[in-house]
Structure 1
Amino acid sequence: MTLKQQLTDDMKTAMRGGDKHRLGVIRLVLAAIKQREVDERIELDDAQTLAVLEKMLKQRKDSVSQYEAADRQDLADVERAEMTVIEAYLPAKLDDAELDALIAAAIAETGASGPRDMGKVVAAVKEKAAGRADMAVVSGKIKTRLAG
Structure 2
Amino acid sequence: MMDIVTFVATMFLVFAATIGFALVVQAPRRGLVITGIIGATSYLPYTLCLSTSKNQYYGIFLATLLVCFMGMLFARIKHIPANILIIPSLVLYFPGQQAYKMMVNLFDMDLHAFISNTAAFAKISLAIYAGFIIVNITFPGLWRYWLQVKSRWTSHQE
Q: What TM bracket, shorter-length normalisation?
A: 0.3 to 0.5
- When normalised by structure 2's length, the TM-score is 0.34
- When normalised by structure 1's length, the TM-score is 0.36
